[in-house]
Amino acid sequence: MPMIQIDNVSKWYGDFQVLKNCSAKVEKGEVVVICGPSGSGKSTLLRTVNGLEDYQEGRVIVDDIDIGAPGTNLTRLRAKVGMVFQHFELFPHLTVSDNLTLAQMKVLKRSRAEAEKRGLELLARVGLEKQASKFPAQLSGGQQQRVAIARSLAMDPVCMLFDEPTSALDPEMINEVLDVMIGLAKEGMTMMVVTHEMGFARKVANRVLFMDAGEIVEQAPAEEFFTKPRSDRAQKFLAKIL
Ligand code: ADP
Ligand code: MG
């Protein structure tokens, strides 16, 4: 079984079809990059994988759990599927340490001591062990995004979803976040990443999946996609971002 399996997923907002018969598989340990024009459905597709977005047709199966099946515990599922957003989404009124421990205690029922220990290990891993008692607003964007990644990892996810994790960052902070993601990929984390960072895609992605107007138009190894895109739509898109 693949870690993530998306089978013929379609979704509509009223008359507007935002996802058109999308299918994709991500094997355990694979990194798949999703790119495509703004409004093409990248975020919507990613959000179906952790149950943040429902759909009218098709199936999404993550680690053997059918997300759309009645009775699926979405809180448990979201703990297993880490998600990192463009705008970090840390709790502004909580310290870094409390951001890291809250869900561990609530969802995984870890003790405060256990959760704090795990939180500190992960902060060290993203290079922020000295920031535990600060509030998010006291950190740079790159630091906040690394805290957000550590917070997701604290839930021991089976896979990680990233939705444009570096597009709200100043250029000098992009690499500190990408480096953490590259490290995760090297350790074998299964990842789906919406990004236009080609360097990252070339370095770590097993495949690039190109979306346009709600469709997955092509899937190819990163080097092949960026140098020899097959579809007109991908060629047009790449001409704009390259
Ligand atoms: P992307 O991440 O590729 O930029 P999105 O998945 O965010 O694209 O959005 C895909 C399309 O769905 C866009 O045209 C967007 O306007 C539309 N859309 C997103 N959310 C809603 C909503 N709640 N109601 C109606 N349309 C929406
Ligand atoms: Mg988006």
The confidence score (pLDDT) of residue 242 equals 74
The response to whether residue 42 sits with its C-beta less than 6 Å from ligand 1 reads yes
The response to whether residue 41 sits with its C-beta less than 6 Å from ligand 1 reads yes
The confidence score (pLDDT) of residue 124 equals 96
Looking at the CA of 41, which ligand is closest? 1
The confidence score (pLDDT) of residue 158 equals 96
Write 150-153 long-range contacts (CB < 8 A, 24+): 150/100, 150/119, 150/122, 150/123, 150/125, 150/126, 151/90, 151/99, 151/100, 151/103, 151/122, 152/82, 152/83, 152/84, 153/82, 153/122, 153/125, 153/184
The response to whether residue 110 sits with its C-beta less than 6 Å from ligand 1 reads no
The confidence score (pLDDT) of residue 78 equals 84
- Name which residue sits closest to atom 22 of ligand 1, judged by CA: 13
Looking at the CA of 17, which ligand is closest? 1
13 CA to centre of ligand 1 in angstroms: 9
The confidence score (pLDDT) of residue 241 equals 84
**Relative to the CA of 46, which ligand 1 atom is closest?**
6
- Name which residue sits closest to atom 23 of ligand 1, judged by CA: 13
- pLDDT, tens digit, 9 for 90 and up, residues 88-112: 999 999 999 999 999 999 999 999 9
**Relative to the CA of 194, which ligand 1 atom is closest?**
2
The confidence score (pLDDT) of residue 108 equals 93
The response to whether residue 209 sits with its C-beta less than 6 Å from ligand 1 reads no
Q: Which amino acid is at 223?
A: E
Tokens of 192: 């789906």
**Relative to the CA of 13, which ligand 1 atom is closest?**
25
> Would you write out the chain's pLDDT as a tens digit for each of its 242 residues?
999 999 999 999 999 999 999 999 999 999 999 999 999 999 999 999 999 999 999 999 999 999 989 888 888 888 899 999 999 999 999 999 999 999 999 999 999 999 999 999 999 999 999 999 999 999 999 999 999 999 999 999 999 999 999 999 999 999 999 999 999 999 999 999 999 998 999 999 999 999 999 999 999 999 899 999 999 999 999 998 87
Q: How far apart are CA 52 and CA 86, in angstroms?
A: 15
